[in-house]
Copies of this chain bind each other. A is one copy, B any other.
Amino acid sequence: MLSKKTKYGLKALTFIARRIDNKPVPIATIAKSENISRKFLESILLTLRKSGFLGSKKGKGGGYYLLKEPKEINMSSVMRILEGPIALVSCVSLNFYEKCEDCPDEKTCAVYNLMIEVRDSTLNIFNNKSLSDLI
């Protein structure tokens, strides 16, 4: 299941992307319009800024704005920043690989191949979707 962080993050990104002028959008505006706890959203937007998706401007007329074209913002990268691994088990993760403690050998693991398949099909969707597709 998707965390609220990810869900809110995606909603906020699309909200910001919908502004054609790309003028800064204040946190409060997004929070109110999308029914998100203002403070929680604050921390989410901060991570999106630190990851290079968003820029920010303080003071009056400030807020968050996109640093790239919506078309250039890939869903895989957003999901990885907000949610973490796309794979269902870390031993099949491309970007967050980790060996399973309990599993002596991945090649003989029954779960492994199934999860590879799921990962690939999900990745296939996220890789071919950008923020512009969510608008």
Identify the A interface with B (CB < 8 A): 1-2, 7-8, 10-11, 14, 34-36, 75, 84-85, 87-90, 100-104, 109-111, 113-115, 117-118, 121-122, 124-126, 129, 133-135
Chain B nearest CB: distance from A85 CB in Å?
7
Chain B residues near A103: list those with CB within 8 A: 35
Pairs of residues from A and B, 4 with the lowest C-beta to C-beta distance, nearest first: A35-B102, A14-B110, A110-B134, A121-B121
A134 and B122 contacting across the interface, CB-CB below 8 Å: no
Q: Other CB < 8 Å A-B pairs besides A11-B109, A34-B102, A35-B102, 20 of them? A: A1-B84, A1-B87, A1-B89, A1-B90, A2-B88, A7-B89, A7-B100, A7-B111, A8-B102, A10-B110, A10-B111, A10-B114, A14-B110, A36-B102, A75-B114, A110-B134, A111-B134, A114-B129, A114-B134, A121-B124
A101 to B87, CA, bound (A): 27
Chain B nearest CB: distance from A111 CB in Å?
5
